[in-house]
Amino acid sequence: MRILITGGTSGLGLAMARALTEDGHRIVLTGRDAGRATAVAGSLPGEVHGIGMDVRDAGSVRAGRDATVDRLGGLDVLVNNAGIGMRTVNPAFLTAPQPFWKVPEQGFRDVVDTNLTGYFLVASAVVPDLLDAPAGRIVNVTMNHATMRRAGFVPYGPSRAGAESLSRIMAADLAGTTVTVNLLLPGGPTVTGMIPDGVDASAMLPAEIMAAPIRWLCSPAADGIHDERIVATEFADRS
């Protein structure tokens, strides 16, 4: 399949890209830094392209869509993964959470623009391509519901809650078409760049927890799977 993974230069996105190359998929991964995206893509086996894309910016998204289709000759799967976390507004969010009224306005906007608006912009840009594919797929990465309600987690919690609602509406709007929409989440705290420095991550999930479910979602075994919320820690081989 021809797959676009946003935010694919590190963390969950990179783990998913690495897993999908093992199945021979053709991949474009994105990052805000085009040079880094190109370098990361070059470190992976198989056909992997890296492009610069700022999911907050509609023009950048359109250019990224055009570059993706140009390199792959079309698109079958979008993995909406690009996101930023709490450390961008409070580096000590796990040990010294701050109440919502102390969150900087610009920090709030940056997180929501990336984690929610970004999902909307990228999906909107590529849905026509997915509808042209034999069986297009959208996978929206999300997180545990408890984190969406956790004290001290504004704006990250609301941004992910909004993206999850958006995903459900995407699924409803695309019902009856050839495009499926599903949610995928690790199922617990995961070792990524969103974790503050100095925090003991020994009990956290590895980013590779996403490998098995994303490989399944991009396989023929997942044909017709639509509007499901798949938790990686609970995933059993459904093939």
* Largest separation between any pair of C-alpha atoms in the chain: 49
- Looking at residue 203, what is its pLDDT? 79
Q: Which of 93, 156, 216, 235 is catalytic?
A: 156
- Looking at residue 238, what is its pLDDT? 59
**Considering the domain boundaries, does residue 98 fall inside one?**
yes
* Whole-number Å distance between alpha carbons of 159 and 157: 5
Residue 156 appears among annotated catalytic residues: yes
* Whole-number Å distance between alpha carbons of 91 and 22: 35
Domains: count for the chain? 1
**Considering the domain boundaries, does residue 143 fall inside one?**
yes
- For position 76, which CATH number holds? 3.40.50.720
- The residue type found at 111 is V
Residue 199 exposed, middle or buried by CB count within 10 Å (0-12, 13-18, 19+)? middle
- Looking at residue 196, what is its pLDDT? 63
- Looking at residue 236, what is its pLDDT? 72
**Considering the domain boundaries, does residue 76 fall inside one?**
yes
**Considering the domain boundaries, does residue 239 fall inside one?**
no
Please count the other Cβ atoms lying within 10 Å of the Cβ belonging to residue 200.
7
- Looking at residue 92, what is its pLDDT? 87
Domain that holds residue 29: 2-234
- Looking at residue 69, what is its pLDDT? 98
The series of mean pLDDT values per 10 residues for the chain, 239 residues long, is 97 97 97 98 97 98 98 98 93 90 97 98 98 97 94 96 98 98 92 66 86 97 97 79
Task: Report DSSP letters for 195-207, one per residue.
Answer: SPTT---TTSBPG
